Amino acid sequence: MIIAVASGKGGTGKTTVATSMALSLQDMSSEVTFIDCDVEEPNGHIFLCPQITGSDNIYIEVPEIDRQKCTRCGKCADLCAFNALLATSDEVIVFPEFCHGCGGCRYFCPVEAVTMMPKKIGTVEKGLAGRVKFARGRLEVGAALSPPVVDAVKKHSTDQGIIILDAPPGTSCPVIHSVRGSDFCLLVAEPTSFGLNDLDLAVQMVRSLGVPCGVLINRARERSCLIEKYCREHELNVLMKIPLSKDIAGAYSRGIPLGAVDGKWNKAFRRIYRDIRELVANEGNNRYQR
């Protein structure tokens, strides 16, 4: 069972939820894996304090232009869909930050002036936090292309047990790469009008991927009705509410998982997991009947 934890924007407490959930489920399954897909700003480790046991580098191939062979015909710059090449009158300049490593420029260069060279764009580390298996991707500073790093870290998900994916915030490419293929997506939302707008975008994104989703309201207060109303209108389940409280806010800022603040949260996360399992099963049945 793969559960992605996502939110329409940063700062909703998504990572706190994802890590607390992973820790709470340790006793429910023989295997729990936490995967940090927020490769631009991974911070699941702050809550989980894992022992890192290994790491791999992630590369893409970017072009290198042989100035002797290049005739400056400009074909490569024309066809590059990502504007990673600029053909000037005396050379072709590569902007590796834009390059997606598709190899099109090499393929179409009429004089074979292009060779592809590996460029490190990130690392994937794995480790252990108590009994929770841990993996995180980290984008190299200055690298702009996160989806390949997300895909690489996701390879650490197995068919075994429960996998919690901490998706990056937002609704862009790396988020889609994170959520795609999950059995369920838990959306963490804040009860503000901005929060509602971000939630709406996230719901549309997740539904377009065909992944069933539900909502967790964080920092819940009086205005939570805003989110709840939206959820009713869009046939979404509000699976849990975490109140706005001093204790919890303090825990967030110090990187303490919720279960360590109060044991009742462990129970709450186990309950939410059971609810999700049921929702996923129902979804499967519905699909079968359709």
Partner 1 sequence: MRIAISAAGAGPDAPAEERFGRCAWFVIFDEHGNVQESIANTARSSAEGAGVKSTQLLLRNNIDVVLTGRVGPKAMHAMLNGGVVVYTGVAATVNETLEKYLNGQMKPLAVPNARQHAGDTRSERLAT
Site residues (CB under 6 A) for ligand SF4? 62-63, 65, 70-76, 80, 82, 84-85, 87, 92, 99-105, 109, 111, 113-114
What is the DSSP track for the chain?
-EEEEE-SSSSSSHHHHHHHHHHHGGGTSS-EEEEE--TTS--HHHHH-PEEEEEEEEEEEEEEE-TTT-----HHHHH-TT--EEE-SS-EEE-TTT-----HHHHH-TT--EEEEEEEEEEEEEEEETTEEEEEEEEPTT----HHHHHHHHTT--SSSEEEEEPPSSSSHHHHHHHTT-SEEEEEE-SSHHHHHHHHHHHHHHHHTT--EEEEEEEE-GGGHHHHHHHHHTT--EEEEEE--HHHHHHHHHT--HHHH-THHHHHHHHHHHHHHHHHHHHHHHHHH-
Write down how long the chain is: 290
The answer to whether residue 98 forms part of the interface with partner 1 (CB under 8 A) is yes
Using the rule CB under 8 A, is 67 a contact of partner 1?
A: no
Cβ-contact 75, 108 below 8 angstroms: yes
Q: Which is nearer to partner 1, 77 or 162 (CB)?
A: 77
171 forms part of the interface with partner 1 (CB under 8 A): yes
Binder to partner 1 among 93, 111, 117, 128 (CB under 8 A)? 93
Q: Which is nearer to ligand SF4, 65 or 216 (CB)?
A: 65
Report angle CA 226, 235, 281 to the nearest 5 degrees: 130
208 binds partner 1 (CB under 8 A): no
Question: C-beta of 92: minimal distance to ligand SF4 in Å?
Answer: 5
Q: Which of 71, 83, 160, 204 binds partner 1 (CB under 8 A)?
A: 83
Report the residue from 27, 66, 91, 112 that binds partner 1 according to the rule CB under 8 A.
Answer: 91
Q: Is 13 in the site for partner 1 (CB under 8 A)?
A: no
CB atoms within 10 A of CB 14: 26
Q: Using CB distances below 5 to 8 A depending on partner kind, what does residue 86 bind out of partner 1, ligand SF4, none?
A: partner 1
Between residues 63 and 191, which has the closer beta carbon with respect to ligand SF4? 63
Residue with smaller CB distance to ligand SF4, 49 or 173: 173
Smallest gap from Cβ 108 to ligand SF4, in A, equals 6
Q: Choose the stretch contacting partner 1; rule: CB under 8 A; options: 77-85, 103-111, 114-122, 151-159.
A: 77-85
Task: Please report whether residue 219 would count as binding partner 1 according to CB under 8 A.
Answer: no
Which of partner 1, ligand SF4, none binds 88 (CB below 5-8 Å, type-dependent)?
partner 1
The C-alpha atoms of residue 38 and residue 109 are separated, in whole angstroms, by 36
User: Minimal distance in Å, beta carbon 95 to partner 1?
Assistant: 6
Residues that bind partner 1 (CB under 8 A): 9-10, 74, 77, 82-84, 86-89, 91, 93, 95, 97-98, 144, 170-172
